Amino acid sequence: MDKLTLSSYIDHTLLKPTATPQDIMQLCQEGNRYRFASICVNGCNVALATAHSQIPVAAVVGFPLGAMSTRAKVAETVQAVADGASEIDMVMNLGWAKAGAWAQVEEDIRQVVAAANGHVVKVIIETCYLTDEEKELACLAAKRAGAHFVKTSTGFGGGGATVADVELMRRTVGTELGVKASGGIRDLATALDLIRAGATRLGASAGVRILSELEDSCGD
Protein backbone atom coordinates (compact mmCIF):
# COMPACT_ATOMS: atom_id res chain seq x y z
CA MET A 1 0.00 0.00 0.00
CA ASP A 2 1.38 3.40 -0.92
CA LYS A 3 1.47 6.43 1.36
CA LEU A 4 -1.37 8.32 -0.30
CA THR A 5 -3.67 5.31 -0.16
CA LEU A 6 -2.93 4.66 3.51
CA SER A 7 -3.40 8.31 4.46
CA SER A 8 -6.86 8.23 2.88
CA TYR A 9 -7.92 5.69 5.53
CA ILE A 10 -6.85 7.76 8.53
CA ASP A 11 -8.86 10.22 10.58
CA HIS A 12 -6.04 12.26 12.15
CA THR A 13 -7.29 12.60 15.70
CA LEU A 14 -6.73 14.85 18.71
CA LEU A 15 -9.32 14.42 21.46
CA LYS A 16 -7.26 15.02 24.59
CA PRO A 17 -9.07 17.33 27.01
CA THR A 18 -5.89 19.39 27.34
CA ALA A 19 -5.55 20.10 23.59
CA THR A 20 -4.78 23.78 23.06
CA PRO A 21 -5.61 25.95 20.04
CA GLN A 22 -1.96 25.64 19.03
CA ASP A 23 -2.25 21.85 19.16
CA ILE A 24 -5.31 21.98 16.91
CA MET A 25 -3.53 24.20 14.41
CA GLN A 26 -0.63 21.75 14.32
CA LEU A 27 -3.12 18.93 13.73
CA CYS A 28 -4.52 20.89 10.78
CA GLN A 29 -1.05 21.49 9.36
CA GLU A 30 -0.31 17.77 9.53
CA GLY A 31 -3.67 16.92 8.04
CA ASN A 32 -3.10 19.30 5.15
CA ARG A 33 0.38 17.98 4.54
CA TYR A 34 -0.43 14.27 4.60
CA ARG A 35 -3.96 14.49 3.12
CA PHE A 36 -5.64 12.31 5.72
CA ALA A 37 -9.32 11.39 5.33
CA SER A 38 -10.21 13.95 7.99
CA ILE A 39 -9.08 15.54 11.20
CA CYS A 40 -11.17 14.58 14.23
CA VAL A 41 -11.60 16.99 17.14
CA ASN A 42 -13.84 17.85 20.07
CA GLY A 43 -16.77 20.15 19.40
CA CYS A 44 -15.18 23.26 20.90
CA ASN A 45 -12.39 23.02 18.32
CA VAL A 46 -14.48 22.51 15.19
CA ALA A 47 -14.67 26.15 14.13
CA LEU A 48 -10.92 26.63 14.57
CA ALA A 49 -10.16 23.41 12.73
CA THR A 50 -12.50 24.30 9.88
CA ALA A 51 -10.77 27.66 9.47
CA HIS A 52 -7.35 26.04 9.07
CA SER A 53 -8.01 22.62 7.56
CA GLN A 54 -8.00 21.83 3.85
CA ILE A 55 -9.48 18.37 4.52
CA PRO A 56 -12.81 17.41 6.12
CA VAL A 57 -13.31 18.03 9.82
CA ALA A 58 -14.99 15.37 11.99
CA ALA A 59 -16.53 16.24 15.35
CA VAL A 60 -17.24 13.87 18.21
CA VAL A 61 -20.70 13.95 19.79
CA GLY A 62 -21.77 12.51 23.14
CA PHE A 63 -18.10 11.84 23.76
CA PRO A 64 -16.71 9.80 25.41
CA LEU A 65 -19.51 8.22 27.48
CA GLY A 66 -22.55 8.29 25.18
CA ALA A 67 -24.69 8.93 28.26
CA MET A 68 -26.01 12.38 27.35
CA SER A 69 -29.67 12.85 26.50
CA THR A 70 -30.63 12.46 22.86
CA ARG A 71 -31.65 16.12 22.83
CA ALA A 72 -28.16 17.10 23.99
CA LYS A 73 -26.55 14.95 21.28
CA VAL A 74 -28.80 16.52 18.67
CA ALA A 75 -27.90 20.04 19.81
CA GLU A 76 -24.21 19.15 19.79
CA THR A 77 -24.54 17.76 16.26
CA VAL A 78 -26.37 20.85 14.98
CA GLN A 79 -23.67 23.11 16.44
CA ALA A 80 -20.82 21.02 15.03
CA VAL A 81 -22.33 21.12 11.54
CA ALA A 82 -22.91 24.88 11.84
CA ASP A 83 -19.25 25.27 12.82
CA GLY A 84 -18.15 23.39 9.70
CA ALA A 85 -17.97 19.71 10.60
CA SER A 86 -18.66 17.42 7.67
CA GLU A 87 -18.53 14.20 9.70
CA ILE A 88 -19.96 13.29 13.11
CA ASP A 89 -18.54 10.53 15.34
CA MET A 90 -21.23 9.89 17.96
CA VAL A 91 -21.11 7.58 20.96
CA MET A 92 -23.98 5.14 21.29
CA ASN A 93 -25.90 5.04 24.58
CA LEU A 94 -24.08 2.15 26.23
CA GLY A 95 -26.39 1.83 29.23
CA TRP A 96 -29.36 1.32 26.95
CA ALA A 97 -27.39 -1.22 24.93
CA LYS A 98 -26.45 -3.21 28.04
CA ALA A 99 -30.10 -3.14 29.11
CA GLY A 100 -31.20 -4.49 25.74
CA ALA A 101 -33.17 -1.33 24.96
CA TRP A 102 -32.29 -1.46 21.28
CA ALA A 103 -35.26 0.60 20.10
CA GLN A 104 -34.00 3.48 22.27
CA VAL A 105 -30.44 3.01 21.03
CA GLU A 106 -31.67 3.11 17.46
CA GLU A 107 -33.81 6.22 18.00
CA ASP A 108 -30.88 8.03 19.67
CA ILE A 109 -28.77 7.36 16.58
CA ARG A 110 -31.58 8.17 14.17
CA GLN A 111 -32.08 11.62 15.67
CA VAL A 112 -28.38 12.41 15.40
CA VAL A 113 -28.36 11.24 11.78
CA ALA A 114 -31.31 13.57 11.09
CA ALA A 115 -29.57 16.47 12.84
CA ALA A 116 -26.42 15.88 10.78
CA ASN A 117 -28.51 16.78 7.73
CA GLY A 118 -26.84 14.48 5.22
CA HIS A 119 -23.34 14.61 6.68
CA VAL A 120 -21.51 11.38 7.47
CA VAL A 121 -22.35 9.85 10.86
CA LYS A 122 -20.15 7.23 12.51
CA VAL A 123 -21.53 5.38 15.53
CA ILE A 124 -19.05 4.43 18.25
CA ILE A 125 -20.27 1.24 19.88
CA GLU A 126 -17.36 0.95 22.38
CA THR A 127 -16.70 -2.74 21.81
CA CYS A 128 -14.73 -3.26 25.04
CA TYR A 129 -17.97 -3.10 27.02
CA LEU A 130 -20.07 -5.37 24.79
CA THR A 131 -20.50 -9.08 24.22
CA ASP A 132 -20.23 -10.30 20.64
CA GLU A 133 -24.01 -10.53 20.45
CA GLU A 134 -24.33 -6.95 21.70
CA LYS A 135 -21.77 -5.79 19.14
CA GLU A 136 -23.86 -7.33 16.37
CA LEU A 137 -27.08 -5.82 17.71
CA ALA A 138 -25.40 -2.41 18.04
CA CYS A 139 -24.20 -2.53 14.45
CA LEU A 140 -27.66 -3.50 13.23
CA ALA A 141 -29.25 -0.65 15.22
CA ALA A 142 -26.82 1.82 13.65
CA LYS A 143 -27.55 0.43 10.20
CA ARG A 144 -31.34 0.67 10.64
CA ALA A 145 -30.97 4.23 11.96
CA GLY A 146 -29.25 5.38 8.78
CA ALA A 147 -25.69 5.78 10.04
CA HIS A 148 -22.85 5.60 7.54
CA PHE A 149 -20.18 3.90 9.68
CA VAL A 150 -19.89 1.81 12.80
CA LYS A 151 -16.80 2.47 14.89
CA THR A 152 -15.07 0.31 17.48
CA SER A 153 -13.97 2.61 20.25
CA THR A 154 -13.53 6.05 21.76
CA GLY A 155 -9.98 5.35 22.87
CA PHE A 156 -11.10 6.36 26.37
CA GLY A 157 -12.67 3.01 27.36
CA GLY A 158 -11.05 -0.16 28.59
CA GLY A 159 -9.83 -1.31 25.17
CA GLY A 160 -9.37 -0.32 21.56
CA ALA A 161 -9.73 -1.79 18.11
CA THR A 162 -9.07 -5.47 17.51
CA VAL A 163 -8.98 -7.52 14.34
CA ALA A 164 -11.69 -9.82 15.72
CA ASP A 165 -14.06 -6.94 16.40
CA VAL A 166 -13.50 -5.36 12.99
CA GLU A 167 -14.16 -8.71 11.32
CA LEU A 168 -17.36 -9.16 13.34
CA MET A 169 -18.57 -5.65 12.54
CA ARG A 170 -17.82 -6.06 8.85
CA ARG A 171 -19.70 -9.36 8.71
CA THR A 172 -22.67 -7.75 10.45
CA VAL A 173 -23.03 -4.60 8.33
CA GLY A 174 -21.91 -6.14 5.04
CA THR A 175 -20.73 -3.71 2.38
CA GLU A 176 -23.40 -1.09 3.03
CA LEU A 177 -21.66 0.69 5.92
CA GLY A 178 -18.10 1.68 6.60
CA VAL A 179 -16.24 0.23 9.57
CA LYS A 180 -13.93 2.52 11.51
CA ALA A 181 -11.28 1.02 13.77
CA SER A 182 -10.14 3.33 16.53
CA GLY A 183 -8.19 3.06 19.76
CA GLY A 184 -4.65 1.82 20.18
CA ILE A 185 -3.58 2.08 16.52
CA ARG A 186 0.01 3.18 16.95
CA ASP A 187 2.03 1.36 14.27
CA LEU A 188 1.93 0.34 10.62
CA ALA A 189 1.46 -3.39 11.24
CA THR A 190 -1.65 -2.79 13.36
CA ALA A 191 -3.09 -0.37 10.81
CA LEU A 192 -2.63 -2.81 7.93
CA ASP A 193 -4.04 -5.74 9.94
CA LEU A 194 -7.21 -3.77 10.66
CA ILE A 195 -7.61 -2.73 7.03
CA ARG A 196 -7.25 -6.35 5.95
CA ALA A 197 -9.90 -7.27 8.53
CA GLY A 198 -12.38 -4.93 6.86
CA ALA A 199 -11.80 -1.45 8.26
CA THR A 200 -12.42 1.35 5.77
CA ARG A 201 -11.35 4.09 8.17
CA LEU A 202 -8.83 4.27 11.00
CA GLY A 203 -8.96 6.72 13.88
CA ALA A 204 -5.46 7.45 15.10
CA SER A 205 -3.45 10.14 16.81
CA ALA A 206 -0.31 8.42 15.48
CA GLY A 207 -1.09 8.91 11.79
CA VAL A 208 2.11 10.79 11.02
CA ARG A 209 4.20 8.12 12.75
CA ILE A 210 2.39 5.35 10.85
CA LEU A 211 3.02 7.03 7.49
CA SER A 212 6.68 7.61 8.41
CA GLU A 213 6.98 3.91 9.20
CA LEU A 214 5.54 3.10 5.78
CA GLU A 215 8.06 5.42 4.11
CA ASP A 216 10.90 3.77 6.01
CA SER A 217 9.71 0.28 5.08
CA CYS A 218 9.65 1.26 1.40
CA GLY A 219 13.05 2.88 1.58
CA ASP A 220 11.48 6.16 0.44
Domains of the chain, earliest start first: 3-215 (3.20.20.70)
Residue 218: its pLDDT value, please? 82
Residue 220: its pLDDT value, please? 47
Catalytic residue among 11, 73, 151, 165: 151
For the chain, helix (H) and strand (E) counts, in that order, are 10, 8
Catalytic residue among 11, 89, 108, 165: 89
Known catalytic residue at 180:
yes
How far is it, in rounded angstroms, from Cα 96 to Cα 115? 21
Known catalytic residue at 135:
no
Q: 202 - beta bridge partners?
A: 10, 181
Global pTM value: 0.97
Residue 219: its pLDDT value, please? 63
Asked if 190 and 214 count as a contact pair (C-beta separation under 8 A), the reply is no
Q: 58 - beta bridge partners?
A: 40, 87
Low-confidence ranges of the chain (pLDDT < 50): 220
Give strand ranges (E) for the chain. Answer: 10-14, 38-41, 57-61, 87-91, 120-124, 149-151, 178-182, 201-204
Q: CB burial class (10 A; 0-12, 13-18, 19+) of residue 35?
A: middle
How far is it, in rounded angstroms, from Cα 50 to Cα 83? 7
Known catalytic residue at 151:
yes
How far is it, in rounded angstroms, from Cα 85 to Cα 44? 11
Residues in the chain: 220
